[in-house]
Amino acid sequence: MGFRGEGYLAHPGIRAGGDRDQPLVLEQLEVPPYSLHGDAKIVRGVAENVVKHAPDAVLIMVSNPLDEMTALAAKVTGFGAQRVMGQAGMLDTARFSHCVAERLRVPVSAVRTLTLGSHGDTMVPVASACTVDGRPLTDLLPAADIDALVQRTRDGGAEVIRLLKTGSAYYAPSAAAARMARAVAEDAREVLPVCAWVDGQYGISGVYLGVEAEIGAAGVVRVVERDLAESELTSLREAAEAVRAKQADVASL
C-alpha cells in the first residue's frame, strides 16, 4: 500500500509502500496455513530493508501471524515500540461489528464493538463495550449467541478464503491498515484498537498485544486503558501470556 511517493521493497511475498515521512504498511501476500519459520525469514528481510531505506518510518504490520510478526519487526528494526504496531484489533473489531449487525439485522453504523487480546484464538471480545443503537449487546443477545459471533469473528479470515476459493482476505485488512496509516499521516490522535507494546497497562508488561491506543504522527502516542469486567481482564491477561510465549518463539528466527 502506498502513501505518497509509493515504492516497493523487493522481497518475496511482502510489499511495503511509503517514504521516510509516511507510514509503511507491510502486508504478507500468503494464504494460510502459515509457515512460521518462512514467514519470520521474510519479515526479517523486509524489516532490515526498512531500516536501510526508510529509517524514520512508522511501521504498521499486517503480516500473519500478526502478534508474532509485529514483535519480530520491532526487534529487527530496533525502532522504539512507539513506531511499530499491528492492525489486528482494527480488523477483528470491524469483523465483529459486521457479524453483530448481520445477526440483528441492523446497519453496521448502528453497532459499536471492541476486541482486544491476540489476533487469533485468544482474541478478547469486550462485551461491556459493545452496543447497538446505544443499547448494550448483552441486553439484546444471550451469551451463547454472542460467543457464536465471537467465534465467527475469529474464523473470519478462513471464512473469506473459503468463499473466494483462491487468494486471501485482503479487503478488510487493507481498509484497517489504511485507517491506521491515515491516523499517522494526519497526526489524528485517534484512539484505535491495534497491536501495540504494553508496558504496565492492565497489569501486563513486555509484550505486543491487542489494546486501544492513541495513534498520531509518531505512531503509538499512548496505550489507552478502559475499565474492563473482571472476566474480560482475566482473558486479556491470559491472551498476553499466550502471545508472549509465541513471540519468544520467533525472536531467534
Helices 36-53/66-77 angle, 10° precision: 40
Residue 77 near residue 50 (C-beta atoms within 8 A): yes
3-class DSSP state of 196: strand
| Total length of the chain | 253
Q: What CA–CA distance (Å, rounded) separates 40 from 253?
A: 6
Letter for the amino acid at 68?
Answer: E
Which residues have C-beta within 8 Å of that of residue 70, sequence separation ≥ 6?
61, 84, 85, 86, 195, 208
Q: What CA–CA distance (Å, rounded) separates 231 from 102?
A: 26
**For cell 460467543, what's the residue?**
147
Q: What CA–CA distance (Å, rounded) separates 241 from 95?
A: 24
Q: Of the candidates 3, 53, 46, which has an alpha carbon nearest to the alpha carbon of residue 24?
A: 3
- Which residues are marked as active site? 119
